[in-house]
């Protein structure tokens, strides 16, 4: 009998412990002075986790519980929580792709009222393309940028000098392709250029769409006709695929941002066309290529500029019950003072930059990032999501089309193009298949 009693006592304790772990514990979601923040796992987000307790909670009394997930997972989780307005998270990181779509669906809290009441935040200081990309069709601002980026060309100055090649500040794609051919093999194992080939609307499709834009192509015309098999789109894609097949990185069909970053850091490529935010990582104190890099604007053909525009921004969920505390957090995280906090704690090259004009006037920041700061600012300032190509567009966006269907469409098409990069199938076949997919999406909008 005793052993049975003992057994049931043990079980009761175990189950009790389980129940306690569920009810109490780490961060009580109903505590008015704590907010839940869901964010993507990028290096800048690691810093803010570390700095929040000392620099935000101590001053405001608002405790912040962070959930950090990789990019794809965080998008799933955010759409789960926001579409059902479950309100688990008060604040989440959204990109300028999602913000207008989410705002239109009524899932986000408009921020204009909070901005008016918080002049210290200095909204005028935020770079115009960035805040415009976080403004919905109703003219209200729905998110505040944490950091922003455009795309540009990074290249090895030392290799280019040794080969006697110079690149203008605004090169054309033809010049870049010629340079890639010349520097290919400049060192043992070094290829000419790194371009993303990994499938994904946010991977391969992002740089490729900027190339399409500047070649004169577009996904859709103003009246929703799909143009994916149009000559300009085909020419741009063939150019991209040929360039990466002839002079691109090893393993290109699997290479995304991280792989290209590795290739560039390890001297396996001489050029890289990608996000401006990569420059800070390449010029980091422990980087083997620090000081060897030159930077030029995104290569062009028919347009004046072709860099993309991307920002991770903090938005407040409409269903949250803690809008005031959430705004306090946004105002701090996207504010000027947070950049100073990071600069002093972590070094000025790791601040969340690319969003405020004042950042590019800070002497401490420019001292660390002088080689790429001005090129970054120019790239972001000349990005125009409303008119990124040679023809009017039905939806905003440079490296994406600002409609909910684009994530699926872009990813499916990128799989076809990635296969072409791998040598399976031709660009023409890939884009013919893509045109059918794009036309289905367009048909929906044509009906209105």
Compute the distance between CA of residue 377 and CA of residue 79 in angstroms, rounded to an integer. Answer: 31
9 sits near other proteins (criterion: CB under 8 A): no
Residues 269-288 as x/- pattern, contact with other proteins by CB under 8 A: ------x-xx--x----x--
Q: Which residue has the tokens 């520097």?
A: 183
347 sits near other proteins (criterion: CB under 8 A): no
Contact 136, 282 (CB under 8 A): no
Compute the distance between CA of residue 304 and CA of residue 298 in angstroms, rounded to an integer. Answer: 10
Name which of 167 and 244 has its Cβ closer to other proteins: 244
Name which of 237 and 399 has its Cβ closer to other proteins: 399
70 sits near other proteins (criterion: CB under 8 A): yes
Name which of 84 and 166 has its Cβ closer to other proteins: 84
Name which of 93 and 237 has its Cβ closer to other proteins: 93
Q: How close are the terminal C-alpha atoms of the chain, in Å?
A: 74
163 sits near other proteins (criterion: CB under 8 A): no
357 sits near other proteins (criterion: CB under 8 A): no
Give the binding-site size for other proteins (rule: CB under 8 A). 54
Compute the distance between CA of residue 40 and CA of residue 49 in angstroms, rounded to an integer. Answer: 12
Of 68, 345, 366, 419, the residue at the interface with other proteins (CB under 8 A) is: 68
Residues 17-36 as x/- pattern, contact with other proteins by CB under 8 A: xxx-xxx-xxxxx------x
CA dihedral 229, 234, 236, 239 (to 10 degrees): 160
Of 56, 88, 130, 135, the residue at the interface with other proteins (CB under 8 A) is: 88
Q: Given the rule CB under 8 A, which of 11-19, 130-138, 185-193, 292-300 is the region that contacts other proteins?
A: 11-19
Q: Given the rule CB under 8 A, which of 66-74, 220-228, 319-327, 365-373 is the region that contacts other proteins?
A: 66-74
Residues 332-336: contacts with CB under 8 Å, at least 24 apart: 332/55, 332/56, 332/60, 333/48, 333/56, 333/144, 333/146, 334/121, 334/126, 334/144, 334/145, 334/146, 335/120, 335/121, 335/122, 336/122, 336/125
Residues paired with residue 65 on neighbouring β-strands, in sequence order? 36
Of 6, 9, 14, 231, the residue at the interface with other proteins (CB under 8 A) is: 14
Which residues are within 8 A (CB) of 389 and not within 5 positions of it... i.e. 6 or more apart? Answer: 212, 213, 214, 216, 217, 218, 303
234 sits near other proteins (criterion: CB under 8 A): no
81 sits near other proteins (criterion: CB under 8 A): yes
Residues 100-104: contacts with CB under 8 Å, at least 24 apart: 100/133, 100/134, 100/135, 100/136, 100/137, 100/142, 100/396, 100/402, 101/402, 101/403, 101/404, 102/142, 102/315, 103/136, 103/137, 103/138, 103/140, 103/142, 104/136, 104/137
341 sits near other proteins (criterion: CB under 8 A): no
Q: Given the rule CB under 8 A, which of 74-82, 314-322, 376-384, 400-408 is the region that contacts other proteins?
A: 74-82
Residues 242-261 as x/- pattern, contact with other proteins by CB under 8 A: --------------xxx--x
- What is the DSSP secondary structure assignment for residue 55, as one 8-state letter? I
Q: Given the rule CB under 8 A, which of 61-69, 189-197, 239-247, 376-384 is the region that contacts other proteins?
A: 61-69
Residues 115-144 that bind other proteins (CB under 8 A): none
From the list 302, 355, 265, the residue with the least C-alpha distance to 170 is 302
Name which of 206 and 383 has its Cβ closer to other proteins: 206
Name which of 44 and 384 has its Cβ closer to other proteins: 44
State the DSSP H helix or E strand holding residue 154, giving kind and residue range, or none if neither: strand 151-156
| Binding positions for other proteins, rule: CB under 8 A | 3-4, 11, 14-15, 17-19, 21-23, 25-29, 36, 38, 40-43, 46-47, 49-50, 53, 65-71, 73, 77, 80-81, 84, 86, 88-89, 256-258, 261-262, 265-266, 275, 277-278, 281, 286
């Amino acid at each position: 009998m005793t052993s049975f009693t003992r057994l049931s006592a043990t079980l009761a304790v175990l189950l009790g412990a389980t129940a306690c772990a569920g009810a109490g514990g780490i961060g009580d979601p109903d505590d008015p002075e704590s907010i839940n923040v869901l964010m993507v796992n990028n290096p800048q987000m690691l810093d803010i986790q570390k700095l929040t307790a000392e620099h935000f909670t101590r001053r405001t009394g608002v405790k912040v519980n962070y959930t950090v997930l990789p990019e794809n997972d965080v998008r799933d989780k955010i759409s789960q929580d926001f579409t059902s307005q479950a309100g688990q998270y008060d604040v989440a990181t959204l990109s300028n792709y999602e913000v207008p779509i989410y705002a239109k669906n009524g899932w986000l809290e408009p921020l204009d009222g909070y901005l008016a009441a918080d002049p210290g935040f200095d909204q005028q200081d935020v770079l115009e393309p960035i805040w415009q990309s976080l403004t919905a069709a109703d003219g209200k601002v729905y998110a505040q940028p944490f950091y922003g980026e455009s795309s540009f060309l990074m290249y090895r100055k030392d290799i280019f000098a040794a080969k006697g090649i110079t690149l203008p500040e605004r090169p054309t794609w033809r010049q870049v392709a010629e340079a890639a051919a010349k520097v290919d093999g400049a060192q043992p194992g070094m290829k000419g250029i790194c371009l993303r080939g990994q499938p994904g609307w946010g991977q391969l499709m992002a740089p490729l769409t900027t190339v399409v834009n500047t070649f004169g192509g577009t996904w859709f015309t103003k009246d929703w006709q799909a143009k994916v098999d149009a000559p300009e789109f085909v020419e741009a894609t063939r150019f991209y695929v040929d360039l990466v097949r002839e002079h691109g990185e090893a393993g290109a069909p699997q290479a995304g941002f991280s792989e290209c970053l590795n290739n560039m850091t390890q001297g396996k490529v001489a050029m890289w066309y990608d996000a401006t935010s990569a420059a800070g990582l390449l010029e980091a104190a422990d980087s083997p290529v620090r000081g060897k890099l030159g930077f030029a604007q995104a290569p062009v053909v028919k347009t004046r500029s072709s860099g993309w525009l991307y920002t991770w921004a903090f938005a407040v969920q409409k269903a949250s019950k803690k809008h005031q505390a959430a705004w306090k957090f946004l105002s701090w995280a996207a504010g000027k003072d947070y950049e100073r906090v990071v600069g002093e704690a972590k070094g000025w090259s790791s601040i969340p930059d690319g969003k405020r004009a004042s950042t590019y006037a800070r002497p401490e920041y420019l001292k660390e990032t002088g080689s790429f700061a001005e090129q970054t600012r120019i790239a972001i300032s000349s990005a125009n999501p409303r008119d990124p190509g040679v023809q009017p567009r039905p939806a905003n966006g440079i490296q994406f089309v600002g409609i909910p269907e684009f994530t699926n469409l872009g990813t499916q098409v990128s799989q076809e193009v990635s296969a072409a990069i791998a040598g399976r199938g031709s660009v023409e076949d890939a884009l013919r298949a893509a045109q059918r997919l794009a036309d289905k999406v367009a048909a929906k909008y044509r009906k209105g």
